[in-house]
Amino acid sequence: MTTAVVFAYHNVGVRCLKVLLAQGVDIKLIVTHEDNPNENIWFSSVKQVAQDYGIPVITPDNPNTPEIEAQVRALAPDFLFSFYYRNMLKAPLLEAPSRGAFNMHGSLLPKYRGRVPINWAVIHGETETGATLHVMNVKPDNGPLVDQQAVPILPDDTAQEVFDKVLVAAEICLLRALPKLINGTAQFIQQDLSQGAYFGGRKAEDGRIDWCQPARQIHNLVRAVTRPYPGAFSDTPMGRVVIWRTRVLAESGHDSQPCRLLAKDDKLLVHTAEGGLLQILEGSIGEHHLTVEGLNKYLNGELMLACNCCKRISRN
């Protein structure tokens, strides 16, 4: 029977674990994370899957310790898999399996190596992304490719909607590649790293909107960091406005009253500094929803947004 040790977290971790189980892989140990109480936990629990199937599970802060390395080595697994596990695995762990270590990454490598690849793909306006199974080595996301599955990104897809597609892509990718890994017929393709780049993690502050950017670029940021993420935001004289959903009405040609949130024709609109026009479909200010009625009633239908182009924040 094929054996494996699996490092996993998040929904991709759950679904890929279930692929291994469905294909009869004997999982000797699951290594996962304890949930961070300060994080919005909107995804499924790998630890719960381990408990449901009676698989030993550990949750170390750091997996790269002599004790855990010895534990994994003693299990003598055929394979080591990493499915959305957040820590880098060092050489002693990667060398423990007899038949290789493999990672599932949420992009079409070599594009978007590194952290939060789905969010970065949406921010950059990509029209497709996907899931890639690749050989692990000590450098992140640059080992030879085993298999890939692409999915489309539609112009108004949010990061979570894209993640849901990538989740299925990861399951398909692993299900297709696993028999070849087990019987030794998998073909490995070296990555051309010049065709992609490495991206780091993102913080809530990175959601600050630059109204000097084109409307499409702002829209991409909004949909990349909307719920379950902290959201795109802009400071105003009345407090911080968080923008959850937008629609691009025009790419250019609207240069009047830039960087203002306006109530007009029963819509919430923003003219960007570059002449684009955005409709705000959902937003909030403090504890309150942004509405046309509220903007008209309390702010005379207009609210100035912080804008580097204008170099000021004006009160109404």
Q: What angle do CA 12, 242, 244 make, to 5 degrees?
A: 50
pLDDT at 255 over 50: yes
Alpha-carbon distance values, 160 to 123, 126, 222, 315 (Å): 13, 15, 12, 35
Percentage of the chain modeled with pLDDT above 90: 86
Q: Is the peptide bond before 63 cis (omega within 30 degrees of 0)?
A: no
Predicted TM-score (pTM) of the model is 0.94
**What confidence category does residue 313 fall into, taking pLDDT thresholds of 50, 70 and 90?**
very low
Can you tell me the distance from the alpha carbon of 213 to that of 104, in angstroms, rounded to the nearest whole number?
34
Q: How far apart are CA 101 and CA 90, in angstroms?
A: 11
Domain spanning 204-304: which CATH class is it, in words?
alpha beta
Query: Could you tell me the two tokens for 210?
Result: 């630059």
pLDDT category at 256 given cuts 50, 70, 90 is: low
Torsion over CA: 48, 131, 138, 38 (sign):
negative
- Give 70-121 pLDDT, tens digit per residue: 999 999 999 999 999 999 999 999 999 999 999 999 999 999 999 999 999 9
Phi-psi region of 246 (alpha: psi -120 to 50; beta: other; left: phi over 0): beta
| Domain locations in the chain as residue ranges | 3-199, 204-304
**Options 3.40.50.1220, 3.40.50.300, 1.10.490.20, 3.40.50.170; which CATH number does 3-199 get?**
3.40.50.170
Q: What is the pLDDT of residues 121-132, one digit of tens each?
A: 999 999 999 999
Mean pLDDT of 305-309: 78
pLDDT of 35 over the 90 cut: yes
pLDDT at position 169: 98
**CB count in 10 Å sphere of residue 142:** 18
Nearest residue to 274 via CA among 193, 217, 190, 200: 217
Write down the residue that tokens 């937003």 correspond to. Answer: 283
- The answer to whether 88 and 66 are in contact (CB under 8 A) is no
pLDDT in tens, 163-205: 999 999 999 999 999 999 999 999 999 999 999 999 999 999 9
Report residue 314's pLDDT band, with 50, 70 and 90 as the boundaries.
Answer: very low
pLDDT more than 70, % of the chain: 96
